[in-house]
Amino acid sequence: MKVPKVITTYCPKCKTHTEHSVSLYKGGKRRTLSEGQRRYDRKNIGYGSKRKPEQKRFAKTTKKQTLVLKCQKCGYTIMREGLRMKKIELVEVVK
């Protein structure tokens, strides 16, 4: 799916439709010393221990994509979540 780089949509902060710049959401880096990660590592130590069974097959062929829309007036960001598509492409729209 082709997505324009600039979208005019509602901004809850400005309370009107404004231009938003579009980018793809990418997950942040995992912190190795966070409490959950330390707990997970502790559980994985030793013989015959995996926290959860290993996933052998995967049913879905696509991943859910999230678009990050940033208001160009106030800088407020909104997310468009859960769009399933094989291919996503940000395109410049010539007016």
Binding residues for Zn(2+): 11, 14, 71, 74
How far out from the chain centre does Cα 9 lie? 19
Nearer to Zn ion, 14 or 79 (CB): 14
- Residues in binding site: 11, 14, 71, 74
Q: Using CA atoms, how far apart are residues 23 and 4, in angstroms rounded to an integer?
A: 10
Rounded least distance, CB 2 to Zn ion, Å: 25
Q: Using CA atoms, how far apart are residues 50 and 47, in angstroms rounded to an integer?
A: 9
Q: Using CA atoms, how far apart are residues 80 and 1, in angstroms rounded to an integer?
A: 14
Nearer to Zn ion, 69 or 71 (CB): 71
Chain residues that interact with Zn ion, rule: CB under 5 A:
11, 13-14, 71, 73-74, 76
